[in-house]
Structure 1
Amino acid sequence: MIRTQRLLLRPGRLTDLEPLHRILSDPCVMRYWSRPAHDDIAQTAEFLRYFMNGYGHDGRVEYILEKDGRCIGKAGMWRDPEVGYILNPDYWGQGLAYEAMSAILIEIARRRPDLTRLTADLDPRNIGSIRLLEKLGFTHDRTEIGDYLYGGYEVCDSAYYSRVMVAQD
């Protein structure tokens, strides 16, 4: 677990199912995620099961984000060495994703000193995430046009970012 000024970053719990489902079933939140919004809570239950079973394994460094006792999202590194985050929209624009990811980058450097570079990929229309990544020290590597099929029906572009990991992280 990691405590920041306003957040607790912790492993997942079964009680996170409902708040995670509110996030993952919201079409606005999931618009730039890797797949469309969850239609059924069973999808979210599977997502949470995978999250909980993989906690601390396979090089993953990911956390549930808790604020004031409530699950408000998740963030971390789940695909070596790809980072990402998702947050309840009620908490957007408050610097919480930056706060969480800043702490997670330090934890990644501590737990995975072998990693010299982190990556992130996102839809280039996701301006908020681009700003966050740049604030975290990521730089734009390239944009691929039409390289992602979202939900089986929409061809989208992908922007690829990376960040060099240094000892003081």
Structure 2
Amino acid sequence: MDEQTSERRNQNSQFLEVTLREFQLTDVEDFFVWASDDRVTAWSRRYTFTNKEDVLAFMEKTVLRHPWMRAICLEGRPVGEISVTRHMDERQCSAELGYMLASQYWGRGIMTEAVKLVLGTIFGDMEGLERLEANVLVQNVGSQKVLEKAGFTKEGILKKYLILKGKISDIVMYSFIPTDN
């Protein structure tokens, strides 16, 4: 897949180049930055990594084998990840969006741009995809804003929907259906 690119003006009126590309094992140092940050992983099903060896093993076993996981790059350097995972049951026409961004980049519009880049290609990349959904913890207001700015529709709150790190959690269900937009 070719690299996807978006430019966004930051608070200092400079353009930030946001790109998506496939991960490489050489990204392990950058991946460790957000994967080892409790503030980032608090919103994820994934636990916080404590060493680079485990991150490397995770990248080899999971990241590089994932059908659609990309590095979110700022000026060419990975600062986060974004993935689309197809449902493999009766919901095969839908997929789930997931993402993480290093905390030092929060609030700059980078994730919103990355999500928009995904929306620009994913329905062509995944044959038969009709719906992209995102499940966000009710407390994760920042992620909800990202999805709304990117054009997702808030469908509602699913109470006691999942157990996340041993705690029963409510989530907000978002969807993007291209024919609705």
Shared fold (TM-score greater than 0.5)? Answer: yes
Measured against aligned partners, the alpha-carbon deviations of 1:44-65 in whole angstroms (never above 9, x if no partner) come to 22332211123xx3xx3x3101
Partner of 1:125, secondary structure, is coil
Asked if the contact 1:115/1:165 (under 8 Å) is kept, the reply is no
Match of 2:124?
Answer: 110
How far apart in 2 are the matches of 1:48 and 1:79? 19
Measured against aligned partners, the alpha-carbon deviations of 1:47-99 in whole angstroms (never above 9, x if no partner) come to 32211123xx3xx3x31011223210011312341112111111111111111
Asked if the contact 1:8/1:66 (under 8 Å) is kept, the reply is yes
Residue 73 of structure 2, aligned match among 66, 70, 73: 66
Residue 88 of structure 1, aligned match among 93, 99, 102: 102
Distance change >3 Å, CA 145–CA 91, structure 1 → 2:
same
Match of 2:4?
Answer: 2
Return the TM-score normalized by structure 1. Answer: 0.85
How far apart in 1 are the matches of 2:77 and 2:27? 8
How far apart in 2 are the matches of 1:103 and 1:35? 24
Asked if the contact 1:117/1:165 (under 8 Å) is kept, the reply is yes
- Report sequence identity in percent: 27
Q: Does 143-152 or 116-125 show the bigger shift? A: 143-152
Aligned-pair Cα RMSD in Å: 2.0
Aligned length, in residue pairs: 162
Measured against aligned partners, the alpha-carbon deviations of 1:2-22 in whole angstroms (never above 9, x if no partner) come to 122212211111121121112
| 1:51 is aligned to 2:63 | yes
Residue 11 of structure 1, aligned match among 22, 38, 49: 22
Asked if the contact 1:76/1:101 (under 8 Å) is kept, the reply is no
Whichever residue aligns with residue 161 of structure 2, its letter is D
Asked if the contact 2:113/2:150 (under 8 Å) is kept, the reply is no
Residue 168 of structure 2, aligned match among 155, 161, 167: 155
Whichever residue aligns with residue 10 of structure 1, its letter is R
Measured after TM superposition, the shift of residue 24 of structure 1 is: 1.0
Runs (5+) with no aligned partner, structure 1: none
